[in-house]
Amino acid sequence: RKEVEQDPGPFNVPEGATVAFNCTYSNSASQSFFWYRQDCRKEPKLLMSVYSSGNEDGRFTAQLNRASQYISLLIRDSKLSDSATYLCVVGPNYGGSQGNLIFGKGTKLSVKP
Amino acid sequence: NAGVTQTPKFQVLKTGQSMTLQCAQDMNHNSMYWYRQDPGMGLRLIYYSASEGTTDKGEVPNGYNVSRLNKREFSLRLESAAPSQTSVYFCASSRGTGGGGYTFGSGTRLTVV
């Protein structure tokens, strides 16, 4: 089982749609979770952290299910500007090796007019 | 603030040539990283430096060396470039341990012919 798995997509959705991305991770000791966004030919940028209680930032909602080792990202009212690749990222147990932030391969989203 | 600055942005090398990719951050971050990103492979960690004066191997260190020159700068060296090292290279930095958000540079597109 790969450490962080995502559906590669692409997800092609119309403007205004709601779209959900899922991610599973294999290391049950993981303690930090993030979603990054990467535009074509650009660097990844932090979109949001994911907390155990779930968190929301505008149209974006992230949830974590530790028991199932599952992370989700929900985008409501999709905009053309949301078109990008979304990377699920899982971090190390606190106190563990600093360099082990694991990136999923990403899910590509294309929002159409 | 410039954030994380990488140079050069593009480079073409012949097999066997050497080069150094430069990375500097102005955020007073303790930790710095080098990743490579290939189609279908996602981001893979080459080397990282948890703090000034330390460096450690990541997932794919073969064929690379690094130097943490000071707190701001972390360079990646290819001693004898190979076509398999054709990739996009990203430098990143973070404040410290615990897997906090990484800030990435804009990347170096390297082609080895």
Express each pLDDT in A5-36 by its tens digit. Answer: 998 889 999 999 999 999 999 988 888 899 99
d(CA B111, CA B85): 8
Å between A35 CA and nearest CA of chain B: 10
Whether residue B33 and residue A31 make contact (CB cut-off 8 A), yes or no, is no
* Span A40-47, average pLDDT: 94
Verify whether the Cβ–Cβ distance A43 to B105 is below 8 Å.
yes
Q: Are A93 and A30 in contact, with CB atoms under 8 Å apart?
A: yes
Q: Per-residue pLDDT averaged across B37-47, rounded?
A: 90
Q: What pLDDT is recorded for position B98?
A: 52
Q: Is B99–A104 a contact, with Cβ atoms under 8 angstroms apart?
A: no
Query: Per-residue pLDDT for A93 more than 60?
Result: no
Which of A3, A49, A101 has the most B C-beta neighbours within 10 Å, making it the best mutation to test the interface with B?
A101
DSSP B73: B
User: Do A99 and B56 make contact, defined as CB atoms within 8 angstroms?
Assistant: yes
Lookup: tokens for B77: 């060296």
DSSP state of B93: E
User: In sequence order, which ranges of chain A are alpha helices (DSSP H)?
Assistant: none
Q: Does A27 reach chain B within 8 Å, measured CB to CB?
A: no
Q: Does A46 touch chain B (CB under 8 A)?
A: yes
pLDDT band at residue B107 under the 50/70/90 scheme: very high
Nearest chain B residue (CA) to A96: B98
**pLDDT, tens digit, for every residue of A66-87?**
999 999 999 999 999 999 999 9
Which stretches of chain B sit within 8 Å of chain A by CB? 31, 33, 35, 40-43, 45, 48, 50, 56, 58, 90, 96-107
